[in-house]
Structure 1
Amino acid sequence: MRRITISLDDSIAEQFDQLIERRGYENRSEAFRDLLRHHIETERKMTYTALHCVATVSYIYNHHERGLASRLTAAQHDHHDLCVTSTHVHLDHDNCLETIILRGKFKAVSAFADSLIAQSGVRHGNIHIIPVQIDQPLRSRHVHLLPGT
């Protein structure tokens, strides 16, 4: 591990310390590492240098909306190679929350997640994508998905 030193204006340092306290970080170093990871991964996503990813897509929809539940299910079946699992929660008599876990090539996962959220009738959609590297250990039949450090 490498040690670096940074200088901050008093105002920014105070705001940073408040952020650390609100989020429950043990120290400044861990908070700073998380900020850097977030910005590095955001850059990888924006420049499409991330080749593979895992993701969650969550959304709320009214299951009475004509054909919407069927369209969402059909879309998942059409992309079964990306869909790992899904959960379906009944929020009330009308609204459902679904969360789908995806994995695959970054562009395909991103496009599919966007298409789910864009369905007419889907509300409160959110996508969380984490770029990963694929590693297959020697003499192993399975693959490891390694998130960025």
Structure 2
Amino acid sequence: MLLFSKKIAQHKGGICLEGIVRFGVSMESKLLKQFDELIKKKNYNNRSEAIRDLIRDFIVENQWEAEDVETIGTITYVFNHEVREINDKLTDMQHKHYKNIISTMHVHLDEHNCIEVMIVRGKAKEIVKIADEIISTRGVKHGKLVMTTTGENL
């Protein structure tokens, strides 16, 4: 009589159950307590889900460091639209990089300040260069590049 209908096999570093590998992690109790508090605060159902997300994040960050991997991200920046020629400069940059900029959203924050969020796609090296160019433009008060993945390799 079979108790489990799923295949169980040995895997380097743990037990594999239909593509899922169980493995042990050793850490200080204080660190584990802090981790448990954080995953509860972030509404994770269990440690496994939180650890999987941490591993995925680590993989994505390292893909960006490769510079030649197809990636996706957002460039968010706040600027004063009254600074001389800033609108023209930002628009020119967007046209210059039209192959990498998928979409841009523009919002008026007040009488002077605007925020734009660009969705960008391309090689990591290209995306970082575009973000640096935009964020360093005179009149841009703050900007941030948020890098993620196309999900293809996860």
Same fold (TM over 0.5): yes
Work out whether 1:120 is the aligned partner of 2:111. no
Work out whether 1:88 is the aligned partner of 2:106. yes
Q: Which residue of 1 aligns with 2:116?
A: 98
Matched to 1:114, the amino acid is D
Q: Which residue of 1 aligns with 2:85?
A: 67
The C-alpha deviation readout for 1:77-134, integer Å capped at 9, x for no partner, is: 01111111100000000000000011122211221112111112212211111233xx
Work out whether 1:13 is the aligned partner of 2:36. no
Q: Is the 8 A contact 2:64 2:71 kept in 1?
A: no
Residue 27 (structure 1) aligned to one of 46, 57, 64:
46
Distance 1:113 1:119 in 2: 10
> Runs of 5+ in structure 1 lacking a partner?
133-145
> Runs of 5+ in structure 2 lacking a partner?
1-19
Residue 128 (structure 2) aligned to one of 110, 113, 116:
110
Distance 1:11 1:99 in 2: 39
Q: Is the 8 A contact 1:51 1:131 kept in 2?
A: no
Output the TM-score relative to the length of structure 2.
0.82
Distance 1:69 1:124 in 2: 16
Offset, 1:147: 4.0
Q: Which residue of 2 aligns with 1:129?
A: 147
Output the TM-score relative to the length of structure 1.
0.84
Matched to 2:145, the amino acid is I
Offset, 1:3: 1.0
Q: Secondary structure at the match of 2:128?
A: helix
Distance 2:46 2:106 in 1: 38
Offset, 1:44: 2.3
Identity, % of aligned positions: 36
Matched to 1:129, the amino acid is M
| Stretches (4+) displaced over 4 A | none
Task: Please tell me the root mean square deviation across aligned C-alpha atoms, in Å.
Answer: 1.4
Q: Is the 8 A contact 1:56 1:128 kept in 2?
A: yes
Q: Which residue of 2 aligns with 1:140?
A: none
Please, which moves more after superposition, 88-97 or 101-110? 101-110
Aligned residue pair count: 135
- Which of the two has higher C-alpha Rg? 2
The C-alpha deviation readout for 1:19-58, integer Å capped at 9, x for no partner, is: 101211111111111111112222222243x511111000
Q: Secondary structure at the match of 1:13?
A: helix
